[in-house]
Amino acid sequence: MYSIGIILFELYQPFSTAMERTKSIKSLRDGCLEPSSEINPEIRQIIYQLTHPDRTCRPSASQLLDTYFTSDAKHMRELEAEVKYLKKLVRSRDEELTQKNEEIEKLKEAVAAFTTSFS
């Protein structure tokens, strides 16, 4: 399973030179490497699990398949991604509403000041 983790890492991590590849794999083995942010977080997590220094903490092939490649697991991950996106959208809309409410309050104050000056 460790070898599969290294292969996944090599597939997803861009290397400029063979020396960079060697150093990166050594760092991954030592648990000190942060893979490229270009790597999908889910793939990054699989790489970390497969290359865990303690072999008893690594998933078996069947665990890996059951966790990441069954249709139910895939559907659940898709739903989780959608929920994450919707939460981000709601936060954004909340911020917009807060800004609009602040703008409304300022306009009310301006109207009140304007009305007072003509009274």
pLDDT 10s digits, 48-61: 888 888 889 888 88
Please tell me the CATH superfamily of domain 1-69, with its number. Transferase(Phosphotransferase) domain 1 (1.10.510.10)
pLDDT of residue 32: 74
Residues of the chain with pLDDT under 70: 33-38, 71, 119
**47 class by beta-carbon count within 10 Å (0-12 exposed, 13-18 middle, 19+ buried):** buried
Contact 29, 9 (CB under 8 A): no
pLDDT of residue 119: 66
Model confidence, pTM:
0.53
pLDDT of residue 36: 63
Question: How large is the angle between the packed helices 71-118 and 61-68, nearest 10 degrees?
Answer: 40
pLDDT of residue 94: 95
